[in-house]
């Protein structure tokens, strides 16, 4: 996510709550991603997390008082809010939400929120509280009002809570908040688009315990889904058998085989305006899968096995009426072992897609980094070696440019 957060300056506010322990990791992730983080803590927050810890993680002195003498003009509420690209309160307690609604300004954190320039310094809230507190009508009224006043509420997680109860109200995990922040800072280049993307391998059963698959991890497809959602698209992700968390705000459909993936794609196609076939779909499958495990008998003979070709999902979508009429923009992926430009160019023509993205499969399967070669009717363009998140954002931008009015 370095490309999103590089050069950003964030005020990270901590209000009282046990979820302050997550804020320590959030601060670390932000700094690692290239942001500078100024931590401001309420008196209640100091009961759960020390300023020393947050100073060590942020690399900056922590502010806790509106009377802090380090500011030459003695106005930290003005200075801190003016310098920020955004103010994030995480955790944001029920009490602090009420303070914001009331315009309270008797401590530094709520004071700098009140003093921030509304038109250029956004306020983002990551609530954290007991499930009954979250569901209480007073909290829900306050949440509605604070959003009407211009704050962005990131929502809460569901699960076990420190009090021993289970339900809504947990603060989002640091990685989830990072995704929400990345989406906030990303230009909405795909606003109004519905992107359908496939990711990962397929698994073609031989018997109940064996099958044919490949080394695709799904990381590139998941990164594209995340980047497209950040860019404002509605995203549906059809995922083969991978163990990756679903990106925030993305609808996920899990499948196993190529035929299941084809059925899932066809069921979603009517709503899509962009289709990206990132999945490494198995070319063949056993003609028949055994009902029971095929056991060796010690004879040394290998059982005969017939194969049939799997459906060509990309070619079918590219040949559909929405694609032929220009209502659906199709992007294919080619994972090659050699002669990338030659083979990927041929695949683009064979599949009939306007854009084909090539990469060297053995060099990227399972890894967090990749390099891409974009091929269209005008030629080819390299996206140099970078993280898959960075490449996904670059690819989304390339697609947005091609969909822009007047693009040739």
Three-state DSSP at 277 gives strand
Instruction: Give the pLDDT of residue 252.
Output: 98
Q: What is the pLDDT averaged over residues 312-340? A: 93
Per-residue pLDDT for 303 more than 90? no
- All domains of the chain in start order, with CATH: 2-185 (3.40.50.1950), 194-285+306-403 (3.40.50.10300)
Name the strands in the sheet holding 355-360, side by side, starting at the edge strand that comes first in the sequence: 251-254, 234-239, 194-199, 274-277, 329-336, 355-360, 369-376, 379-387
* Rounded mean pLDDT, 171-189: 96
Determine the Cα–Cα distance for residues 181 and 195; give it in Å rounded to an integer.
Answer: 21
27 has catalytic annotation = no
Report the percentage of the chain scoring pLDDT > 70: 99
Q: How many CB atoms lie within 10 A of CB 59?
A: 10
Alpha-carbon distance of 347 to 361, in angstroms, equals 15
Closest by CA position to 30, among listed 49, 12, 45, 53: 12
Q: pLDDT class for 301, splitting at 50, 70, 90?
A: confident
Q: Are 109 and 102 in contact (CB under 8 A)?
A: no
pLDDT of residue 1: 46
pLDDT tens per residue across span 345-398 = 999 999 999 999 998 877 788 889 999 999 999 999 999 999 999 999 999 999
**Quick one: average pLDDT of 227-240?**
98
Unique residue bearing structure tokens 């854009």 = 355
Tell me: the pLDDT tens digits for 155-177? 999 999 999 999 999 999 999 99
Distance CA 257, CA 241 (A): 9
C-alpha to C-alpha distance for 105 and 193, rounded to whole angstroms: 42
**Is cis: bond before 91, omega within 30 of 0?**
yes
Q: How far apart are CA 345 and CA 282, in angstroms?
A: 20
The structure's pTM equals 0.90
pLDDT at residue 84 tops 60: yes
Whole-angstrom distance, CA of residue 19 vs CA of residue 278: 37
Residue 55: other Cβ atoms inside 10 A: 14
Are the C-beta atoms of residues 179 and 387 closer than 8 Å to each other?
no
- The CA distance from 29 to 363, in Å, is 27
User: Mean pLDDT of all residues in the chain?
Assistant: 94
Largest CA distance in the chain: 89
Please pick, among 20, 27, 163, 330, the residue that the annotation labels catalytic.
Answer: 163
For residues 74-100, average pLDDT = 94
Question: Which spans in 247-383 are helix H?
Answer: 258-268, 313-318, 321-324, 340-351, 361-364
pLDDT at 243 over 80: yes
pLDDT tens figures, 202-232: 999 999 999 999 999 999 999 999 999 999 9
pLDDT at residue 2 greater than cutoff 60: no
Confidence of residue 69 (pLDDT cuts 50, 70, 90): confident
Per-residue H/E/C for 163-218: CCCEEEEECCCHHHHHHHHHHHHCCCCCCCCEEEEEECECCEEEECCEEECCCCCC
């Amino acid at each position: 996510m370095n490309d999103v957060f590089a050069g950003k300056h964030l005020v990270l506010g901590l209000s009282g709550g046990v979820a302050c322990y997550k804020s320590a990791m959030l601060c670390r992730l932000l700094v690692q991603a290239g942001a500078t983080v100024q931590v401001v803590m309420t008196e209640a927050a100091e009961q759960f997390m020390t300023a020393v810890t947050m100073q060590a993680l942020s690399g900056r002195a922590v502010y806790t008082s509106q009377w802090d003498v380090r500011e030459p003009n003695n106005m930290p509420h003005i200075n801190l809010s003016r310098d920020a690209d955004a103010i994030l309160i995480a955790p944001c307690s029920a009490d602090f939400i009420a303070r914001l609604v009331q315009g309270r300004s008797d401590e530094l954190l709520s004071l700098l929120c009140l003093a921030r320039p509304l038109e250029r310094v956004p306020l983002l809230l990551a609530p954290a509280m007991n499930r009954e507190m979250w569901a209480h009508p007073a909290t829900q009224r306050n949440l509605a009002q604070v959003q009407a006043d211009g704050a962005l509420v990131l929502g809460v997680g569901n699960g076990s809570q420190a009090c021993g109860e289970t339900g809504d109200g947990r603060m989002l995990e640091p990685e989830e908040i990072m995704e929400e922040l990345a989406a906030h800072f990303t230009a909405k280049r795909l606003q109004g688009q519905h992107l359908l993307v496939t990711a990962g391998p397929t698994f073609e059963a031989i018997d109940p315990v064996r099958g044919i698959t490949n080394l695709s991890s799904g990381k590139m497809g998941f990164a594209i889904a995340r980047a497209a959602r950040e860019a404002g698209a509605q995203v549906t992700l059809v995922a083969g058998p991978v163990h990756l968390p679903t990106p925030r705000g993305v609808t996920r459909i899990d499948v196993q085989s190529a035929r299941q993936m084809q059925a899932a794609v066809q069921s979603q196609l009517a709503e899509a305006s962009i289709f990206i076939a990132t999945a490494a779909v198995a070319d063949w499958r056993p003609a028949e899968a055994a009902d029971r495990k095929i056991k060796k008998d010690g004879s040394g003979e290998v059982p005969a096995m017939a194969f049939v070709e799997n459906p060509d999902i990309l070619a079918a979508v590219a040949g559909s009426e929405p694609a032929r009429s220009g209502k659906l923009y199709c992007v294919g992926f080619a994972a090659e072992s050699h002669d990338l430009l030659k083979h990927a160019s041929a695949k683009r023509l064979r599949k009939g897609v306007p854009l084909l993205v090539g990469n060297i499969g053995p060099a990227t399967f399972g890894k967090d980094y990749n390099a891409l070669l974009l091929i269209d009717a005008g030629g080819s363009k390299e996206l140099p070696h970078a993280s898959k998140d960075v490449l996904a954002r670059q690819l989304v931008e390339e697609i947005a440019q091609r969909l822009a009015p007047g693009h040739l």
